[in-house]
């Protein structure tokens, strides 16, 4: 059981809102104060377990702002519903840690923070792509350890990614933003594997090709593949952007890694369990020219044995959305969601891009919830 000590903002607020981690910026707590909420913020920086979540909720709680690291099981959600709770507002876009079915059954609104972290997370995927391909972290270690004794023609050679083939697994918002950065910056050809055709991405690629042709340059290509194997076999870079669910658990394992090029770069900024980490360790040991850039881990924050010994893997501590602007924006969206549920305001009709959610960052935000993931299942009608 974790430490459940809290500190309180706006003690006389009529609605009790539990916030399981302190959040960046000041605007989010102003919004909740304006919504007449008493805000109880957990002090602990440890990841809270189910017992701690239930203890924090206590006997009366109108809503929670929770984290992607917490186990929002049906038992935790039942405690919230029994305490009179109406909303669990996640400080994240991904909600694989929440039992959505149980929440819907209990009439709880589950909120998230889309739009604001798309480009930020895509930038992190770009950073990991090049850090892995150009051996940046390994080079940093070499310099610090005094192993850089002068420029040499064959020292620490990596892979050029310009005009190579990029495979996107999961062409949703973040996958598309990353693909665009890589296409426009590095003129890669695109393959994508996704349950649905992404016409927006295909149009972006076509328009960019027209631009290249007009400049007398070779166009790029973009194609949706029907099998994951095809993408793995043909790509020089594979970047994972899928959500985590029962169909994507260990989507990339031993068999899939074996199909990839021996000098490919694999990037994961989605969720750790999409990749079989033990299989990756084995593969990277056997193929030193293969490189991986990871921001997320299967047993986060624990690493699979051997992962931290591999020079061909770059490891980041789940920094995908970690810019001040984004994290403060996520806090505002999480608070706006809670305020809206408390006032029974309708759902914002579309929170897909940054432009869609920008109104929530102005001085007079809309009287609406930015994003309720189970709105349709709960029969909530969007604001017209």
Task: List residues with catalytic annotation.
Answer: 271, 300, 318
CB nearer to ligand DGY: give 144 or 324.
324
User: To the nearest whole angstrom, how small is the minimum distance from the Cβ of residue 239 to ligand DGY?
Assistant: 15
Q: Give DSSP secondary structure letters for 39-92.
A: EEEE---SPP-HHHHHHHH-S--SEEEE-TTS-B-HHHHHHHHHTT--EEEESS
Distance, CA of 243 to CA of 68 (rounded, Å): 13
Distance, CA of 260 to CA of 279 (rounded, Å): 13
CB nearer to ligand DGY: give 68 or 126.
68
Which pair of structure tokens corresponds to residue 270? 């989605």
Distance, CA of 110 to CA of 98 (rounded, Å): 8
CB nearer to ligand DGY: give 215 or 324.
324
User: To the nearest whole angstrom, how small is the minimum distance from the Cβ of residue 251 to ligand DGY?
Assistant: 17
Which pair of structure tokens corresponds to residue 269? 């900024």
E strand residue ranges, 160-309: 165-169, 189-193, 222-224, 237-240, 265-268, 291-294
CB nearer to ligand DGY: give 13 or 320.
320
User: To the nearest whole angstrom, how small is the minimum distance from the Cβ of residue 152 to ligand DGY?
Assistant: 38
CB nearer to ligand DGY: give 121 or 129.
121
User: To the nearest whole angstrom, how small is the minimum distance from the Cβ of residue 93 to ligand DGY?
Assistant: 4
User: To the nearest whole angstrom, how small is the minimum distance from the Cβ of residue 112 to ligand DGY?
Assistant: 8
User: To the nearest whole angstrom, how small is the minimum distance from the Cβ of residue 320 to ligand DGY?
Assistant: 4
CB nearer to ligand DGY: give 93 or 280.
93
Distance, CA of 175 to CA of 138 (rounded, Å): 26
Which pair of structure tokens corresponds to residue 356? 């869609």
Please name the residues in contact with 207: beta carbons below 8 A apart, sequence gap of 6 or more: none
Please name the residues in contact with 65: beta carbons below 8 A apart, sequence gap of 6 or more: 17, 18, 19, 20, 23, 89, 90, 91, 334, 335, 338
Vertex 119, ends 113 and 121: CA angle to 5°? 75
Which pair of structure tokens corresponds to residue 281? 């360790």
Residues of this chain that bind ligand DGY (CB under 6 A): 68, 92-94, 117, 320-321
């Amino acid at each position: 059981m974790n430490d459940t000590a809290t500190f309180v903002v706006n003690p006389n607020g009529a609605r009790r809102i539990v916030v399981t981690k302190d959040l960046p910026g000041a605007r989010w707590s102003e919004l909740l104060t304006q919504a007449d909420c008493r805000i109880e913020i957990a002090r602990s920086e440890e990841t809270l377990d189910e017992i701690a979540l239930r203890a924090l909720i206590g006997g009366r709680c109108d809503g929670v702002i929770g984290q992607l690291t917490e186990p929002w099981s049906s038992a935790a959600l039942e405690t919230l519903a029994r305490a009179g709770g109406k909303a669990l507002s996640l400080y994240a876009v991904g909600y694989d840690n929440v039992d959505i079915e149980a929440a819907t059954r209990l009439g709880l609104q589950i909120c998230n923070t889309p739009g604001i972290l798309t480009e930020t997370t895509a930038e992190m995927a770009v950073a990991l792509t090049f850090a892995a391909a150009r051996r940046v972290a390994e080079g940093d270690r070499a310099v610090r350890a005094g192993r850089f004794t002068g420029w040499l023609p064959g020292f620490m050679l990596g892979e050029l990614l310009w005009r190579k083939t990029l495979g996107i697994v999961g062409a949703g918002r973040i996958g598309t933003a990353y693909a665009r950065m890589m296409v426009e910056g590095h003129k890669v050809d695109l393959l994508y594997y996704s349950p649905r055709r992404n016409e927006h991405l295909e149009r972006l690629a076509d328009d960019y090709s027209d631009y290249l042709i007009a400049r007398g340059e070779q166009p790029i290509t973009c194609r949706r593949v029907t099998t994951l194997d095809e993408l793995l076999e043909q790509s020089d870079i594979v970047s994972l952007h899928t959500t985590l669910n029962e169909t994507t658990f260990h989507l990339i394992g031993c068999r899939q890694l074996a199909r990839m090029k021996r000098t490919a770069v694999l990037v994961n900024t989605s969720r750790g369990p999409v990749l079989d980490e033990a299989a990756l360790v084995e593969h990277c040991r056997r193929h030193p020219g293969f490189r991986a850039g990871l921001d997320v881990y299967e047993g986060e924050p624990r690493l699979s044995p051997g992962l931290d010994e591999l020079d061909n893997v770059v490891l980041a501590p789940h920094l995908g959305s970690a810019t001040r602007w984004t994290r403060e924006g996520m806090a505002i969206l999480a608070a706006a969601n809670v305020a809206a549920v408390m006032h029974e305001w309708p759902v914002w009709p579309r929170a897909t891009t940054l432009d869609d959610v920008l109104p929530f960052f102005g001085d007079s935000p809309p009287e609406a919830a930015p994003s309720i993931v189970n709105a349709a299942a709960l029969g909530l009608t969007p604001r017209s």
